[in-house]
Structure 1
C-alpha cells in the first residue's frame, strides 16, 4: 500500500479479542532476569556482498532448522528471516489468522512455531549450516482492541490492552489512543495507533530498555539481526537509540514504505530499509513483459544500493497489493532470478504457504500450532527451492563485486547482461529466443544454473559453450531464464 504499512485486515482486528499479559518479559520461568542493555554503539552492517536471505514466512522452528541443513546452507543461502518468535495472541475464533503473530503479548519465546528451546536449537543448527537467522521484530506496539476476550496468549499469559503485568503499564503507551487518520502527518503516523494496536511510547527509557533487552536476548541465542516490523510507525531517533544499545554488530533492516510524509532515508542511520519502490518496479515490469525497462533499475531514489533490502514480494504485498506472487508461476521466477542476478540491494527470496483467503494462517493442527513445513506438501510453496531461483543464489555469490556488463535487449520482453568475467544471464518473457550473445566469460563449457546444477562433475541441466571471444549461442524458452557463471564451468 502507498500510504501505510498493512499488517492485517481491519475486519480481522475488529472481530478478534483482547488477551491479558504475562508477568515475564523474557525466558520461561519466574527466575529469569531480563538481559541488561549493552552500552555498545556501532552501526549495523549488511551481510557480505553477494549474500541472499530467504524469508521463511510462518515456518516452524524445527522445519527451518531442517531446511538450513538440507537445502539452504548447501545451496548458498546466507540467511533466513523468520516470523516473530515472541508470545502472541491466539485467535481461534478467527481461524488462527497469520496476523495474530504481529500482536505481541510478552517477550517470552513461545509462539505457534515452537518454544524457546525449539527456537534456540533452530538458531544453533542454522548457524552450524552457515545460515544466519534474522528475526522479524515487532517493536512498535502490543495487542489491539480487536482481541478482546480471546483468552491467554500463546505462552498462557493473561493481559489487557495497555496493561501487560511485569512488562508495560498504561503510562508506557502513547497518549494518542486513536487510529491514524491523517497519513500526511508524520507525527500522527508515528504516535497514534496503527489499526487499533497499543502504540508503545518508544521515546521512554523504560520501554527502550525492555525492547533492547528482548533483542539482546535473541542475540545471546545466536540471532544475527532483525527486520524491524512497522518501522515507519516508530520515530527514527527512537529506533536508533534502541539499536545503538544492542550487543555486537547485528544486521538491521527496517520496514518503511515511502510516501509523501515519510522517507526510508530517515531510517538509514539505524540500518537498511526495505525498498518497496524496487519491488513495484521490478514486479510490474516483469508482469507486463517490458524487461528492457529494467536497465539501470535502482529502486527508490531515497536509498543507495547498500541501504536497500529488495524483494519481489513479501507477506504483506502478497495479500494487500499483489503484483507478482508464486501464484503467477514462471513470470514470478523470472522476476526473482533477475533480482538475484542484478547487483542492486540485499535480496530477500520469499518462501510461502499456499492460501486463497488473504487472512489465512499457515497449515496447522486443531489447536493452532503450525504444522511441519514440507516442500513435498502442496500446502507449502517453497519458492526458494525453484531451480531458476536457487541456481541464481549461487550466481549472485560468484558475481559479487562485478557490475553490469554486456547488456542486450530486444527493446521489449527479452534482456541479457553479464557480471564481468564472472557470470552472464538471459531473461525471456517473450517468444522462444535463439541468438548469439557477446559475454565477458572465459572460454569453456558451462552448466546453466537456472535449469540444473553440477553434481559429481556433471550438469543436471543444460550446458552451453563460450568460445575464445566470449560469444555464447543459446536458446531460451519463453518465460524462462539462462544463468552461467564461472563456478560451474565444467
Structure 2
C-alpha cells in the first residue's frame, strides 16, 4: 500500500526545531576497538572543527570513529567534488594544513575517537590542466614528480575514454569516471605511489580508510595496495550495487567492509511509501551483503544528492526515525551523516571568498549537524549499550507501528501511523526499573529530562506513542 508522506512528525518538532547541542553528561562507552563502532561522517569539515567536535561532543557522546573528507591537495573550486580530484598527495587542502590535520588526529585520539580518511586512489583530476590548492601544477596525464601518461588507463572507448556501459567490466574498471584521469592500479609503480600516500597518513595516526570509487578498481588491485601498508587498519570500500552489473559488492569483502548502498534506498522507500512491518527481517534476507561486512547509512554525501527515496536532513522527523531504526537494528556497521545545507547538488561547504572551508558551527552558518540531533545522538548510546545482542520480541500491527528488543539491553518502538497508539503494553525483556526515554530526554543521574518508562518485574511497560514518534530505552539509561 502506498502512503502519502506527511509533514514533520509533530511529537518530534520540539526535539528538532531548536537543534541545540546536547549535554555532555551521557554515559561514555568502551574504547573504540570495543563497543564504540558508530562512524560519523563530518562531511567537508575543516580540521580544527573536527578536532573541537571530537573533544566536545563525539567522544563524550559515544561515537567511535569520525570519517573525514579527502585531505590531499585538490583542484581549486567551490564545489564539493573538487576534494575528490587529487593534484598531489600533499596533506594540504581547503580544510587545512598538514600540521592542523596531525593535530586533529591527536586530539580525536585523546577524546577516544578514531579517524577514518576518505581516500581517493582510483583517479586524479579531470583531464585538463590547472593548479592545485597548494600550488602544484598539472596537465593532462602529467603530474610532475608523481605520474605521467603511462601511469593511466587510456581505454579507447566512447570517443572520450569515459565509462558509458556499466554492464562492461572492462569499461567500469579501465575507462574514466566522468572524465577523471583513471590510474593504472595494476601497475606496481602506481600501487607504490598510492601506498606511500596512505602510509604517510598512517604515520600521522590515521585509523582507517574509506576507499573511494572502489568499484572502478579490481578487488585484487586494492588488495595489492593494502599489502604495501605499514600496519593493519580498518577498511571500507565504496562499491555501489547495480542489478545485473558484472562488478558486485561481494567481490570486495575479502579486503574489508563494503558500503551497502541498497540499505539506505530500501529504508527510505519503506519509510516513505510502504509499511514499517516489512522491516522485520531487514538486511541479508533482502539481498544485502553479509552483516559482518556491511557498512550502512541512511544517506551519505553522494546519495543525499540523488533525490528519489533517499532520506536526508531535509526530511526532518522521518529522517530522525530512520536513523533511530538503523542504530537500533542488528545489521551492519552504521555511519551517521553530518551535512551542510545545499540547494543544488554541486554546492560546496560554507566557505570564504578564497574557497577555504569555514569553521563548522552547529545549527548556524549552513551546518546542519545531524549527528547532534537529540534522537540520533541518543540512539548512538542505545547502539553502544545493545551491541552484540540479538533482536527479540518483534511486534508489528501489519502496517506502520513496530517494536523490538535487543535481548535484555534495549527496546525501541516506532509509531509511524497518522494517529497515536495509546495504552498499549510492550514486552521488553529488560530488567525491572525506571528508564529514561532517550528519544525525548536526557539521563542526568537518577533523573530524566523527558518521559520516564517503568518496566515491571515481567519486563513489560505500557505507554502512549504519538503519531510519527518513537520511544527508546536501554540499560545505560536506567535511572532507578
TM-score by length of 1: 0.87
The counterpart of 2:56, out of the listed 56, 67, 70, is 70
Matching residue of 1:478: 467
Contact 2:260 2:288 in 1 (8 A): no
Secondary structure at the residue paired with 2:117?
strand
What is the CA-CA distance between 1:378 and the residue it aligns to? Answer: 5.0
Matching residue of 1:218: 201
Equivalences for residues 303-452 of structure 1 within 5 A: 303-322=289-308, 323-430=310-417, 431-434=419-422, 435-452=424-441
Matching residue of 1:271: 256
What is the CA-CA distance between 1:358 and the residue it aligns to? Answer: 1.1
The counterpart of 1:155, out of the listed 103, 119, 134, is 134
Contact 2:262 2:288 in 1 (8 A): no
- Relative distance call for 1:384 and 1:487 in structure 2 (3 A) is same
What is the CA-CA distance between 1:247 and the residue it aligns to? Answer: 2.2
What is the CA-CA distance between 1:290 and the residue it aligns to? Answer: 1.3
- Measure, in 1, the Cα distance between the counterparts of 2:186 and 2:383: 40
- Measure, in 2, the Cα distance between the counterparts of 1:221 and 1:486: 37
Equivalences for residues 19-418 of structure 1 within 5 A: 48=34, 51-91=37-77, 96-145=78-127, 148=128, 151-176=130-155, 178-259=161-242, 260=244, 261-288=246-273, 290-298=275-283, 301=287, 303-322=289-308, 323-418=310-405
- Measure, in 2, the Cα distance between the counterparts of 1:333 and 1:393: 12
- Measure, in 1, the Cα distance between the counterparts of 2:290 and 2:230: 26
What is the CA-CA distance between 1:212 and the residue it aligns to? Answer: 0.6
What is the CA-CA distance between 1:326 and the residue it aligns to? Answer: 0.6
- Measure, in 1, the Cα distance between the counterparts of 2:36 and 2:50: 22
- Measure, in 2, the Cα distance between the counterparts of 1:311 and 1:164: 35
Secondary structure at the residue paired with 1:216?
helix
Residue 442 (structure 2) pairs with residue 453 (structure 1): yes
The one-character-per-residue Cα deviations of 1:379-436 (angstroms, maximum 9, x if unpaired) are 1001101111111101111101110001111111110100011000111211222211
The one-character-per-residue Cα deviations of 1:169-227 (angstroms, maximum 9, x if unpaired) are 11000131500121101111001100011000000011000101111111111110011
Structure 1 range deviating more: 117-126 or 151-160: 151-160
- Measure, in 1, the Cα distance between the counterparts of 2:274 and 2:426: 20
Secondary structure at the residue paired with 1:238?
helix
Secondary structure at the residue paired with 1:74?
helix
Number of equivalences? 438
- Measure, in 1, the Cα distance between the counterparts of 2:185 and 2:400: 48
What is the CA-CA distance between 1:249 and the residue it aligns to? Answer: 1.6
- Measure, in 2, the Cα distance between the counterparts of 1:313 and 1:477: 26
Contact 2:36 2:64 in 1 (8 A): no
- Measure, in 1, the Cα distance between the counterparts of 2:469 and 2:205: 38
What is the CA-CA distance between 1:458 and the residue it aligns to? Answer: 1.9
- Measure, in 2, the Cα distance between the counterparts of 1:480 and 1:112: 40
- Measure, in 1, the Cα distance between the counterparts of 2:421 and 2:56: 35
Secondary structure at the residue paired with 1:111?
coil
Structure 1 range deviating more: 411-420 or 280-289: 280-289
What is the CA-CA distance between 1:302 and the residue it aligns to? Answer: 5.5
Contact 1:50 1:399 in 2 (8 A): no
RMSD: 1.4
- Relative distance call for 1:345 and 1:401 in structure 2 (3 A) is same
What is the CA-CA distance between 1:461 and the residue it aligns to? Answer: 1.7
Matching residue of 2:16: none
Matching residue of 1:30: none
- Measure, in 2, the Cα distance between the counterparts of 1:378 and 1:423: 36
Matching residue of 1:17: none
The one-character-per-residue Cα deviations of 1:52-73 (angstroms, maximum 9, x if unpaired) are 0101001111111111111111
- Measure, in 2, the Cα distance between the counterparts of 1:47 and 1:232: 28
What is the CA-CA distance between 1:131 and the residue it aligns to? Answer: 0.6
What is the CA-CA distance between 1:48 and the residue it aligns to? Answer: 4.1
- Measure, in 2, the Cα distance between the counterparts of 1:291 and 1:436: 19
- Measure, in 1, the Cα distance between the counterparts of 2:335 and 2:117: 13
Secondary structure at the residue paired with 2:355?
coil
Contact 1:265 1:302 in 2 (8 A): no
Gaps of 5+ in 2: 1-31
- Measure, in 1, the Cα distance between the counterparts of 2:86 and 2:67: 18
What is the CA-CA distance between 1:310 and the residue it aligns to? Answer: 0.2
- Measure, in 2, the Cα distance between the counterparts of 1:97 and 1:190: 25
Structure 1 range deviating more: 154-163 or 299-308: 299-308
- Measure, in 2, the Cα distance between the counterparts of 1:132 and 1:277: 26
- Measure, in 2, the Cα distance between the counterparts of 1:334 and 1:220: 39
